[in-house]
């Protein structure tokens, strides 16, 4: 049975490479009824040559009586074609190594991206063949509950895995966790509705939390939410000091409990607040709040649950008619007193606001008045939610045991 290990003559490879160069890629592949490589290529005299077709033809050059080596008999990756070419003294490379993606690059879909760089056209978190950099893909029309990306503030990106429990130790989640632990940059690709994918920005992973979600099977489950922040580029020396500080904070406060209150579909306001209080409010020597994404996730979930899907500003003149990607009311969870100014990452200092009220609270002429009113509301709503929680526990439904 023909085997790749039987290819031992580098001259046979060079003859195949010369024919490839003379005919051109399309004619060479058509002549031998072979398909092009998507991942690894031989690099011979400055030309990229499809690795599996090259070896298949080289085998027939060395053994004319045997014909082409069936490409189904060996892989085109590091364990097959790459190893054989290296053994015979030839360099290999990938499209991503020869011409890495540049900011602003656009492709109509994931298939076009695979055509350009190789790799997987399905998974949301991948590395291109031969390239160490992780790429994350977010599609505004896709099934994941990602936040809309921001170039100014951190945003959430849901972990990989559409059905069943998401796993931190597998696939794309493991790749992104490795990037988080090493504090290395990640490429962020985004596709708005009806538009192509675009390499939008470099990001770093500031942390992660387990949050409540629903799989494609319709079952509730914990999901991983990664906190991403845009950075100027892949060189860490260009990143703001606060990003480096947040990365240190995050690695020290990362929580690995997929059964935490904020990850359960049904949990009480009191349990969420207790989770926030138990994790504490760490601050740096400068007084700035330390990054604790698990704590923040619990606090955000508590505020959204407390709001009942309605803007918490008494001045609100109307919620947006549209729903967000998760089918819920469009609400921003905002700190009333900024964390950098001494505010607490706690429901007592947080409100759920529609986009219009959020803008007014931030930029209105009477923004100070807005903040005072919202702070009073947050305290009242917090007390009321805890009281309602206690009443519910003291008045169980028929058949429910205390």
Residue-by-residue DSSP string for 148-199: PP-SSS-EEEEPS-SSS---TTSHHHHHHHHHHHHT--EEEEEE-TTS-EEE
Query: Of 6, 17, 16, 23, nearest to 63 (Cα)?
Result: 6
Q: What is the pLDDT of residue 395?
A: 55
Same domain, 203 and 216: yes
pLDDT tens-digit profile of 202-214? Answer: 999 999 999 999 9
Instruction: For residue 255, give Cα distances in angstroms to 146, 187, 279.
Output: 20, 24, 10
Q: Note whether residue 108 is domain-resident.
A: yes
Q: What is the pLDDT of residue 402?
A: 26
383: DSSP letter: H
Q: Note whether residue 159 is domain-resident.
A: yes
Contacts made by residues 364-369, CB under 8 angstroms, sequence distance 24+: none
Same domain, 253 and 105: yes
Q: Note whether residue 401 is domain-resident.
A: no
What is the C-alpha to C-alpha distance for residues 118 and 156, in angstroms, rounded to an integer? 27
Which of 96, 124, 147 is at the close of a domain?
Answer: 96
Q: What is the pLDDT of residue 397?
A: 40
Q: Note whether residue 399 is domain-resident.
A: no
What is the C-alpha to C-alpha distance for residues 88 and 82, in angstroms, rounded to an integer? 10
Same domain, 252 and 118: yes
Q: What is the pLDDT of residue 375?
A: 96
Tell me the CATH number at 104. Answer: 2.30.280.10
Q: What is the pLDDT of residue 263?
A: 94
Q: What is the pLDDT of residue 89?
A: 97
Q: What is the pLDDT of residue 120?
A: 83
Give the chain's domain count.
3
Sign of torsion, CA 226 350 361 343? negative
Range of the domain at 157: 100-264
Q: What is the pLDDT of residue 392?
A: 67
Q: Give this prediction's pTM.
A: 0.88
Q: What is the pLDDT of residue 399?
A: 38
Q: What is the pLDDT of residue 390?
A: 74
Residues of the chain with pLDDT under 50: 396-402
Exposure string for 94-128, b = 16+ CB within 10 A, e = fewer: bbbbeebbeeebebeebeebbebbbbbeeebbbbb
Same domain, 199 and 55: no
Query: Of 293, 268, 399, nearest to 345 (Cα)?
Result: 293
Same domain, 245 and 123: yes
Sign of torsion, CA 67 71 77 80? negative
């Amino acid at each position: 049975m023909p085997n790749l290990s039987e290819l031992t003559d580098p001259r046979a490879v060079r003859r195949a490479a010369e024919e490839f160069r003379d005919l051109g890629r399309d004619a060479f592949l058509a002549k031998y009824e072979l398909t092009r490589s998507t991942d690894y290529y031989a690099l011979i005299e400055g030309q990229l040559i499809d690795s599996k077709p090259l070896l298949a033809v080289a085998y027939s050059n060395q053994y004319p009586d045997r014909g082409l080596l069936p490409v189904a008999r060996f892989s085109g990756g590091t364990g097959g074609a790459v190893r054989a070419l290296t053994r015979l003294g030839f360099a290999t490379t990938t499209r991503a190594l020869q011409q890495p993606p540049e900011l602003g690059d656009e492709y109509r879909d994931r298939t076009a991206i695979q055509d350009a760089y190789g790799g997987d056209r399905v998974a949301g978190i991948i590395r291109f063949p031969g390239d160490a950099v992780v790429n994350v893909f977010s599609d505004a029309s896709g099934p994941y509950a990602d936040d809309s990306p921001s170039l100014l503030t951190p945003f959430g990106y849901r972990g990989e895995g559409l059905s069943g429990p998401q796993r931190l130790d597998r696939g794309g989640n493991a790749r992104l966790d490795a990037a988080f632990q090493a504090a290395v940059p990640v490429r962020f690709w985004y596709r708005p509705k009806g538009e192509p994918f675009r390499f939008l920005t470099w990001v770093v992973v500031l942390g992660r939390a387990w949050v409540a979600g629903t799989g494609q099977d319709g079952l509730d489950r914990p999901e991983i939410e990664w906190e991403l922040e845009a950075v100027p580029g892949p060189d860490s020396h260009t990143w703001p000091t606060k990003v480096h500080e947040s990365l240190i904070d995050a690695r020290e406060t990362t929580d690995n409990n997929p059964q935490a209150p904020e990850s359960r579909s049904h949990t009480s306001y009191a349990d969420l607040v207790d989770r926030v209080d138990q994790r504490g409010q760490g601050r740096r020597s400068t007084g700035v709040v330390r990054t604790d994404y698990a704590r923040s996730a619990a606090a955000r979930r508590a505020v959204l649950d407390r709001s009942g899907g309605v803007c918490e500003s008494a001045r609100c003149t109307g919620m947006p008619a549209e729903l967000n990607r998760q089918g819920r009311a469009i609400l921003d969870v905002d700190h009333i007193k900024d964390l950098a100014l001494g505010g607490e990452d706690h429901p007592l200092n947080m409100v759920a606001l529609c986009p219009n009220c959020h803008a007014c609270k931030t930029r209105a002429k009477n923004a100070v008045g807005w903040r005072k009113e919202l702070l009073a509301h947050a305290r009242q709503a917090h007390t009321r939610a805890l009281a309602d929680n206690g009443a519910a526990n003291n008045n169980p439904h028929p058949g429910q045991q205390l």
